[in-house]
Structure 1
Amino acid sequence: MTTIDEASAWAESYKNAWISNDADDVAALFTDDALYEFRPGDDTPWRGREEIVAGWLEEQDSPEVWKFDYEVRGVLDDGTAVIQGVTEYLDDRPTFENLWLVRLVDGKAAAFTEWFMVRKGTEK
């Protein structure tokens, strides 16, 4: 069963991978058969660790242009972590509110689903 501490460690590793944009750091976050959805029921999710790493590196953000804070809000009965975050871009992009559902298996994400929306008043 996933704990708050495990979910926090995973989220911190995610943030560190976002900073490094290193393929090994990204790969370490996910199971071999993980699913990465940018929205619930995503028509084109990334499937499997290799596709997740390739997609991540293709769409990477430079760590100098963003700040990210998060809080683990809880863990559901099935071990899915609920993580709320805020992504503040320091360039011309708006600030985003994020909600992630992350099903962890042995400390790695087997499923990642994101909801995101522009924070009111930060539209650019």
Structure 2
Amino acid sequence: MSYAERFLDGYLDAWRTNDPDSIRALFAPDATYRSGVRDLEPATGADAIVAHWLEERDEPGTWSYTGAVELQTEKAAVIRGVTTYTDGPKSGAYANVWLVRFDDDGRASEFQDWWFPQEA
């Protein structure tokens, strides 16, 4: 299994559980994380990423995701998908494109999510 496939599986598991240890395990200690294009200053460092994630968390059962690794090298990947929220202010479908760069251990050293509402 590639770093990208392992990251996607782990990310989805962490998203479903919001477990701090599962989130932290995905990222290098000095990783950067941007959860949207308007994040001008990324969360930097695994602890800051966990805090940011939990502050913006999606509750289990309020979303679904379909997607896959589109492009990958040993050190980077582009993952494309669709997130559908069934509840709350985010209700609707959103297209996602994730850029992930990996360190030598396969943890994300950089994560950037570009998302936008999908047209009906």
TM over 0.5: yes
Query: 1:97 — aligned with what?
Result: 95
Displacement of 1:40: 5.2
- Identify unmatched segments of 5+ residues in structure 1: none
Displacement of 1:62: 1.0
Query: 1:67 and 1:19 mapped to 2: Cα distance?
Result: 9
Displacement of 1:79: 1.9
Query: 2:7 and 2:47 mapped to 1: Cα distance?
Result: 19
Deviations 1:17-38 (A, max 9, x none): 0011110000000000000013
67-76 or 106-115, larger mean C-alpha shift = 67-76
- What SS does the corresponding residue of 2:57 show, helix, strand or coil? coil
Paired-residue identity, %: 38
- Identify unmatched segments of 5+ residues in structure 2: none
Q: TM-score, normalised by structure 1?
A: 0.87
Displacement of 1:91: 1.5
Amino acid at match of 2:6: A
Across the aligned residues of Structure 1 and Structure 2, the Cα RMSD in angstroms comes to 1.7
Query: 1:51 and 1:88 mapped to 2: Cα distance?
Result: 26
Query: 1:110 — aligned with what?
Result: 109
Deviations 1:9-65 (A, max 9, x none): 111100000011110000000000000013458412111111000111111111210
